[in-house]
Amino acid sequence: MTRLRFGGVALILVLTAIGTIALVGTAAGAAAVVDDAGADIADVDTNGEEDGVDEADDDGADDDSEASDGDETDDSEPTDGDGADDGDTDDEADDSDGTDDGDADDADSGESDAPATFTVSDVSSNEPVMAGETVEVTVQVRNVGDRAGETEVWFDLDEFRKDDTTVELGAGETETVTLAYVSKSGDAKDWTLTAGTPDDTTSTVITIEEPSSSSSSSGGGGWTSTAEPDFVVTNFTVDGPIKAGETLRMNATVRNDGTARGENLLWFTVDDHTLNETVVGLAPYEETTVSYAHNTSVDGAGEWNVSARLPEDRADVSVDVAALESEFVIDEVTTSDSVTAGDRLDATVRITNTGDVRDTGNVTLYLDEERIDVEGIELGANESTTVELSYRTNSWMTDELNFSTATDDDRAEFATLVNEPAETETPAEPETPTEATDTAATDTPSDDDGGTSNDDAPGFGAVVAVIALLLVARVASGRQR
């Protein structure tokens, strides 16, 4: 049995060795075939003839060279196509791009890039005009900068701004702007008209003439009346009184009582200072209401004369503008209904500033009209605080006392009963000896007593006892001798 097992193992080893030799031989043969084929192809490409010895010797070198050439050709084809031509083209393109870009950048950087700047020229007006008529001003505005921009354009009569507008222009653009102002009856005179932008101004002189009076003329044997508008203020109201810092609102009703349609200027003033101007256009017998709201200053308290004006008519209203003030109001006073004379009376006072501004003030405690305590406070609008006031009562002012707490704006009164202090019990005085005792102490011994002393008398028994002791002592001393 052992021999059979050994024989099997040996057979397996032999077969394995034979198989390995066969595989090695097959692989070597295949490699030789491949090498021969490669050598043949190389010889045909280069020499056109076969050379077995040379093929065998140069197989490795030829393969490496071919592989390298093939790689270079493949890599260059998708990118260049032709190594020499593409290189020149790319260089030219790069140089061309670089030159063009550089030239463009140089050109851009060399050009000026000034901001928008606006000049004015050719200022003209429709003068002469009558007071109450519209002054029309035209002005040419040019943007001499290199950028588009926006600017304000205005015109003034002397130092008074009459109209303004805003224009937007591209670089080098020009626009003619028209501005207007409805003159007033008091404007009749020569004016310096200045038109401008923030960058430039120009001035000229215009004349506003006195208005001509309406007239009638005859023609063909009859009279013909000239139709004209006639504007009047029929109603003017102002909300008031108000507090400084609040809005003042006004309404003016204007009617055209004339026989022609027309335009006129309505303006509102406060103490002859113009607040607002509005051009009103009305047909004959037509009316309209113009409203305006003016925000007052916190420092503008006083009595204001507010007017609605037309060139030939006006209406006035007086308005009281109250100053902003604080108001310290006493909300509550807490105190005792009664105290004992000599004790302290405390009063707690709550105060609120119901006014419009922060302020300082005092809270005072009075007894009748005499000030007995005071505390300073500072409160903003609608703020509150609590103050403690006190008074030391005394024994000579008892009964119900009248107190009050007060600020500059408010007062609160209250009464408190001051009681007299309770009576304290005085200690009882020691009793004096009765008459019987006194008689016994002073009486002398009577005959009935047999001439004996009364030892019960106050102070007498003690003296006798002392004398007796002295006598006994003396006797004893004599016996010892």
| pLDDT tens figures, 184-211 | 867 888 999 999 999 999 999 999 888 7
pLDDT single digits (tens) 397-429:
888 999 999 999 999 999 999 998 877 666 666
Per-residue pLDDT, 113: 82
Mean pLDDT of 70-91: 41
pLDDT single digits (tens) 4-40:
454 555 566 656 666 655 554 555 554 444 444 444 4
Of 36-45, 222-231, 376-385, 413-422, highest mean pLDDT: 376-385
Residue 105 has pLDDT above 60, yes or no: no
Q: 328-419: same fold as 118-209?
A: yes
Per-residue pLDDT, 395: 79
CATH 1.10.760.10 describes domain 229-322: no
Q: Sketch the domain layout of the chain as residue ranges.
A: 2-79, 118-209, 229-322, 328-419
Written as one string, the DSSP assignment of 4-54 is HHHHHHHHHHHHHHHHHHHHHHHHHHHHHHHHHHHHHHHHHHHTSS--HHH
Residue 413 CB contacts under 8 Å (≥ 6 apart), including other chains? 402, 403, 404
Written as one string, the DSSP assignment of 412-428 is EEEEEEEEPPPPPPPPP
Q: What is the CATH architecture of 328-419?
A: Sandwich (2.60)
Residue 372 CB contacts under 8 Å (≥ 6 apart), including other chains? 365, 366, 391
Could you tell me the pLDDT band of residue 97, with boundaries at 50, 70 and 90?
Answer: very low
For 190, the token pair is: 């020569």
Cα 177 → chain centroid: 39
Mean pLDDT of 287-310: 93
- CA-nearest of 308, 300, 155 to 241 is 300
Return d(Cα 231, Cα 267) in angstroms, integer.
Answer: 13
* Contact in structure between 203 and 193 (CB atoms under 8 Å): yes
Per-residue pLDDT, 448: 47
Q: Name the fold adopted by 118-209.
A: Immunoglobulin-like (2.60.40)
